[in-house]
């Protein structure tokens, strides 16, 4: 995978840290599908540079493998991450086989939480649930994860 533009990352983080009279102590990277793969690459770089400002990674529908190509795992960045990670995926995601994801997660050296949305596909949609229902579930799991991260930091 191509190395992300580290200078752009540094500029973004510095701008985020300097919010005028407010002090921000940390940031997490978040993405959905390919965006979560890009976010994982950025977090890997931050981990390699011991960047304490970056607190974690949130992946919505991480594309662990191409559809119908489960042998082509996209796990290289994930295995290098040392910051906490939250995965939210659908149990029927054609790009994230549950058993394969559980195997990859077992190899990650950081605290990891996975939330499976039952019967949801890669787009995180499922019959019987509205968009508002899905967003409420995603938001609830994200908030719980952030609270867990804050508890870990306090020791």
Give the pTM. Answer: 0.84
Of 45, 26, 37, give the one whose Cα is nearest residue 63.
Answer: 37
DSSP-derived letter for residue 127 is T
Count of all residues that appear for the chain in the document: 155
pLDDT at site 151: 83
Q: How far is CA 21 from CA 17, 18, 77, in A?
A: 11, 8, 35
Convert the pLDDT of each residue in 73-131 to its tens digit: 999 999 999 999 999 999 999 999 999 999 999 999 999 999 999 999 999 999 999 99
Distance CA 71, CA 136 (A): 33
pLDDT-derived band at 11 (thresholds 50, 70, 90) equals very low
Q: Which residues are registered as beta bridge partners of 3?
A: none
CATH classification code of 6-154: 3.40.50.1820
| Overall average pLDDT of the 40-46 stretch | 92
Domain boundary assignment for the chain? 6-154
Tell me if residue 136 falls in helix, strand or coil.
helix
Task: Report how far Cα 145 is from the mean position of its chain's Cα atoms.
Answer: 11
Average pLDDT over the chain reads 86
* Helix 6-17 with 34-48: angle, nearest 10 deg: 80
Report pLDDT for 132: 94
The stretch 2-20 carries a mean pLDDT of: 50
The predicted structure's pLDDT at residue 119: 96
């Amino acid at each position: 995978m191509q190395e992300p533009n580290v200078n752009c990352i540094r500029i973004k983080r510095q701008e985020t840290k300097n919010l005028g009279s407010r002090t921000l102590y940390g940031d997490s990277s978040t993405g959905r599908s390919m965006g979560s793969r890009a976010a994982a690459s950025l977090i890997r770089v931050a981990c390699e540079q011991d960047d304490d400002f970056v607190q974690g990674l949130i992946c919505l529908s991480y594309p662990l493998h191409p559809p119908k190509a489960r042998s082509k795992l996209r796990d290289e960045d994930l295995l290098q991450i040392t910051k906490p990670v939250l995965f939210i995926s659908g149990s029927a995601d054609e790009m994230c086989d549950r058993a394969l994801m559980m195997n990859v997660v077992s190899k990650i050296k950081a605290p990891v939480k996975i939330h499976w949305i039952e019967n949801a596909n890669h787009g995180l949609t499922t019959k019987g649930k509205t968009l508002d229902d899905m967003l409420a579930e995603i938001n609830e799991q994200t908030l719980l994860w952030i609270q867990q991260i804050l508890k870990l930091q306090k020791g």
